[in-house]
Amino acid sequence: METIIIDGLSFGLPLFIMAIGGIYSERSGIINLAIEGLQGFGAFFGSLSIILVGHFFDIPLQKLFYLALLLSMFGGMLFSTLHGLLCIKFKANQVISGVVINILSMALTIFLTTQINSIVFGAMSDKFRIGTSNRFTIEFLAKIPIVGAAFKNIYPFQVVILIIAVFAAYVLNKTRFGLRLRACGDNPHSVDAAGVEVSRIQYLAVMISGALSGLGGISFAYSISTNFSPAIYMGYGYLAIAALIFGNWKVLPTFGACLLFGFARSGGYYIAQLLKMPSTFSDLIMILPYVLTLLLLIFFSKANHPPRALGEIYDKGKR
Amino acid sequence: MKGKKRVISVLLIMTLVIGILLSGCGGEKAPDESKEGEGLNVAIVTSPSGVDDGSFNEDNYNGILAFVKNNPDTNVKTVKEPTGDPAAGVEAVADIVADYDVIITPGFQFAGISQIAVENPDKMFILIDDFPAEVDGVQEFDNIYAMTFAEEESGFLAGMAAALETKTNKVAVVNGIAFPSNVNYQWGFESGVNYVNQKYNKDVKYIELASYAGTDVTNANVGGNYAGDFADEATGKVIGNALIAEGCDIIFVAAGGTGNGVFTAAKEASRDVKVIGCDVDQFDDGANGDENIVLTSALKVMSINVERALNAIKDGTFQGANVLLRADTDSTGYVSTPGRHQLSDDTIAKLDEAFELLKAGEIVPAANFNGYTSDDFPGLK
């Protein structure tokens, strides 16, 4: 039971921060299917930076954990400007741009990883070993029955994610910038009429989305394989998009959706272990939570309202 | 440098165009393309984890690289077959067979290449880990050199090492898919544990999670802990954590990329958990701060044998055959290089003693299809 909560949170929270990034982008009117690629590129950038720093300054990788988080956000942000450029400046189709960025990111990072490994480190390898992250337990809270498991074996990135998430939700819903951002997604002309440049806000939104995706990506790299490798492209970015649609483009419901995915996944493993069926059947059990999600989606999606101007290319002259 | 970059980018575009995911090439490629036709054209087609998996595929690839070092005019192409499915693997080989002299296929799933070999008698094939599938009643082909390894011997040594070094008296083995090579590792490991229990009076148990029991190619339940995939790190970590929760302190990991997840679980474990690497020396993967979680690695020495086969092709002495490589050609074994393992001297002495018995054929650990079980095999009693 404890493992369901611990593993569910360590999976659900990175998903959540990626979904928040998606919310920012989509609420500003830019469809962002590129989350998958952005998280991969962010994780690549962060991993590469810390192993270079560790290599040349001889610092143990464990001490560079927060640097990795920070630089992954930077890397994701950097790569997301490409999506911004294509969608906002060149008015490209946003869906296509997103898909292209995913493919580009995958090919580019795999290529660069093998090349950098062989050129800089002289090793034939398609992964960067980034070291393990510490985990900690908040003793007095962990003693609470059942819920206490949420305070056991926490990865530091989970705390970082929660803090950023609260801040991001506040900015989105309570500040002037957030108001304008949401207006860009619903009625960009009104933003323009108020004398604010729509494209500037959209750029910022896409870049925030990239940064948060990068944070999610490096979190997965730490919690699953302690490597950056092509195995990071497991489709979690798409899952984040599903979560934010499930959550109706709102932060709190999206949080619920991400936790549902997280617990469904760890619960699936738990059920598979409980049923003691041979491994060939465990895949079948692992899809059950997602089948459940699909069914829920059917009932909930009637009430969903995507931002009104989502995916529309903003044209000043249009009435 | 710029020329090299251009070669790389041209390659990249070509690869994209034919729709094959690029796994990284160009770095080792001979820069002079005009000499094509002089050296051998070698292609290696691998499972989804690619030639840089730090494990099985990479060792084969290292054999090719060793050959390239002595024969710089060789052209090498790496192809990553993205599904791991036997039919798709054979298809991937068929797609490229016209362009290469030698095709190297590491993996059980490529057994079906024999049909292609029959249709292309002028091409050579090196098949690792399995014998070619029958075509018209024939099982040996003039242009296929198929090598299999007595994995159970390496697994046996890993099992002995685990049983001799464990403190909780609980050990386990994690595998990918129950292909014969994996089952051999698993049963060899269990044989090794039983051997230590018998000979050195210990009471070590190997833990098997019923929910990850493997189903082998004959659909028999072979037990063990199988992730059902060679590239699923997340599941590997779940299995690793479950085994650690059961009390295991040494885990033998023969699961390809999935094994990375088990390594992560061991690194994060609150108590001292060690892993035994597989196929190649995985010591570098075990670095965990100032410590290392890799106890030793069970070896399957493919690189030397791939290089030998390539040299034979070059010399014109190539002879198609189906061979089973054992300890007597040093094709199986474990890592005892100082600084690359954490075994005690006592354990090494006992392992070396057993290794001699393996060479002499006095110990024959259980394997998937050799008729022995881990409770009853020559040399146990």
Instruction: Tell me how far apart the terminal alpha carbons of chain A are, to the nearest angstrom.
Output: 56
User: Measured between CB atoms, which of A60, A224, A279 is closest to B261?
Assistant: A224
One domain, residues B241 and B99: no
Number of CB pairs < 8 Å for A and B? Answer: 119
Claim to verify: residue B195 and residue B127 sit in the same structural domain? no
Q: CA A177, CA A166: separation in Å to the nearest integer? A: 16
Question: Which residue among B122, B149, B176 closes a domain?
Answer: B149
The pLDDT value recorded for residue B166 is: 94
Of A224, A279, A282, the CB nearest to B233: A224
Which residue from B27, B214, B264 is facing A225, i.e. has the nearest CB? B264
Q: What is the pTM of this model?
A: 0.81
Between A110, A153, A225, which is nearest B260 by CB? Answer: A225
Does residue A234 sit at the B interface (CB-CB below 8 Å)?
yes
What does the pLDDT read at residue B22? Answer: 39
- B143 and B279 in a single domain? The answer is no
Interchain CB distance below 8 Å, A135 and B53: no
Chain A within 8 Å of B242 (Cβ-Cβ)? yes
ipTM field: 0.83
Asked if B61's CB is within 8 angstroms of A124's CB, the reply is yes
Is there a contact between B63 and B306 (Cβ–Cβ < 8 Å)? yes
* Total domains, chain B: 2
Q: What is the mean pLDDT of each run of 10 residues along chain A (319 residues)?
A: 88 95 95 95 95 88 90 96 94 94 93 86 79 86 84 91 96 95 92 92 96 95 87 89 90 92 88 79 75 79 84 79
DSSP structure class, residue B20: -
- Residue A136 has φ and ψ, to the nearest 5°, of -135, 165
* Pair B65, B196 in one domain: no
Q: Which residues of A touch B256 (CB under 8 A)?
A: none
Considering the domain architecture, whether residues B211 and B354 belong to the same structural domain is answered as yes
- Whether B264 sits inside 8 A of A277 (CB atoms) is no
Compare all CA atoms of chain B with the CA of A128 and give the residue at the minimum distance.
Answer: B285
CA–CA separation, B55 and B277 (whole Å)? 9
Residues B136 and B192 in one domain: no
DSSP B138: B
Q: Are strands B274-279 and B124-128 parallel, antiparallel or unpaired?
A: unpaired
Interface of A with B in 279-298 (CB under 8 A): 279-280, 282-283
Check residue B225 and give its pLDDT: 93
The alpha-helical segments, DSSP class H, found in B143-277 are 151-165, 180-199, 233-245, 259-268
Handedness of CA B24, B30, B31, B35 (dihedral sign): negative
Cβ neighbourhood burial of B137 (10 Å; 0-12, 13-18, 19+): exposed
Which residue numbers in chain B have pLDDT < 50?
A: 20-36
| Token couple for A46 | 């962060």
Dihedral angle of Cα B98, B104, B105, B110, to the nearest 10 degrees: 50
- Sign, CA torsion A81/A83/A86/A87: negative
From B65, B228, B263, residue closest to A283, measured CB to CB: B228
**Using CA atoms, how far apart are residues A67 and B304, in angstroms rounded to an integer?**
42
B99 lies in the same domain as B170: no
Assess A115–B contact: CB distance below 8 Å, yes or no. Answer: yes
What is the DSSP annotation of B80-132?
A: E-SS--HHHHHHHHHHHGGG-SEEEEESGGGGGGHHHHHH-TTSEEEEESSPP
Tell me whether residues A279 and B214 touch, CB distance under 8 A: yes
Q: Which residues of A touch B6 (CB under 8 A)?
A: none
For A155, nearest residue in chain B (alpha carbons): B268
Are B189 and B281 contained in the same domain? Answer: yes
Identify whether B326 is part of a domain: no
Residue B310 in domain: no
Same domain, B117 and B165: no
Interface test with A, best of B244, B268, B275, B292 (most A CBs within 10 A): B268
Domain ranges in chain A? 10-133+148-247
CB B378 within 8 A of CB B203: no
Give the DSSP H or E segment for B172: strand B170-175
CA atoms within 13 A on the CB side of A126: 27
Instruction: Let me know if residue B366 belongs to a domain.
Output: no
Quick check: A272 contacting B, CB < 8 Å? Answer: yes
SS3 track for chain A: CHHHHHHHHHHHHHHHHHHHHHHHHHHCCCCCCCHHHHHHHHHHHHHHHHHHHHHHHCCCHHHHHHHHHHHHHHHHHHHHHHHHHHHHHCCCCHHHHHHHHHHHHHHHHHHHHHHHHHHHCCCCCCCEECCCCCCECCHHHHCCCCHHHHHCCECHHHHHHHHHHHHHHHHHHHCHHHHHHHHHHHCHHHHHHCCCCHHHHHHHHHHHHHHHHHHHHHHHHHHHHCEECHHHCCCHHHHHHHHHHHCCCCHHHHHHHHHHHHHHHHHHHHHHHHHCCCHHHHHHHHHHHHHHHHHHHHHHHHHCCCCCCCCCCCCCCCC
Q: Please tell me the distance in Å from B329's CA to the nearest CA on chain A.
A: 27
CATH code for the domain of B59: 3.40.50.2300
- Same domain? For B294 and B236 the reply is yes
Same domain, B96 and B35: yes
**What is the distance in angstroms between the Cα of B282 and the nearest Cα belonging to chain A?**
12
> Is B52 touching A (CB cutoff 8 A)?
yes
Chain A residues within 8 A of B50 when measuring between CB atoms: 126, 230
Whether residue B202 is found in the same domain as residue B349: yes
> Which chain A residues are within 8 Å of B68, Cβ to Cβ?
none
Least CA distance to A224: which residue of chain B? B234
In a domain, B279, yes or no: yes
Alpha carbon separation from B355 to B156, B297, B308, B374, B380 (Å, rounded): 9, 15, 23, 17, 14
In DSSP terms, B44 is beta-bridged to B78, B104
Nearest-CB residue to B231 (from A110, A231, A283): A231
Q: Is B13 on the interface with A (CB under 8 A)?
A: no
Does residue A35 contact residue A240 with C-beta atoms inside 8 Å? Answer: yes
Q: Which domain holds residue B95?
A: 2-149
- Out of A113, A226, A272, the one facing B264 most closely (by C-beta) is A226
Domain-ending residue, one of B110, B129, B149: B149
Cβ proximity of B258 and B230 under 8 Å:
yes
Q: In this complex, which of B21, B211, B227 lies closest to A273 when CB atoms are compared?
A: B211
pLDDT at A268: 85
Which pLDDT score is estimated for B10? Answer: 66
A230/B contact by beta carbon, under 8 A: yes
Q: How far is A257 from chain B (nearest CA, A)?
A: 20
Q: State the pairing for strand pair B205-206/A128-129.
A: unpaired
Tell whether A58 is within 8 A of chain B (Cβ): no
pLDDT at B23: 41
Q: Is A62 on the interface with B (CB under 8 A)?
A: yes
pLDDT tens digits, residue range A138-161? 888 888 888 888 888 899 999 999
Question: Across the interface, do A132 and B264 touch by the CB < 8 Å criterion?
Answer: yes
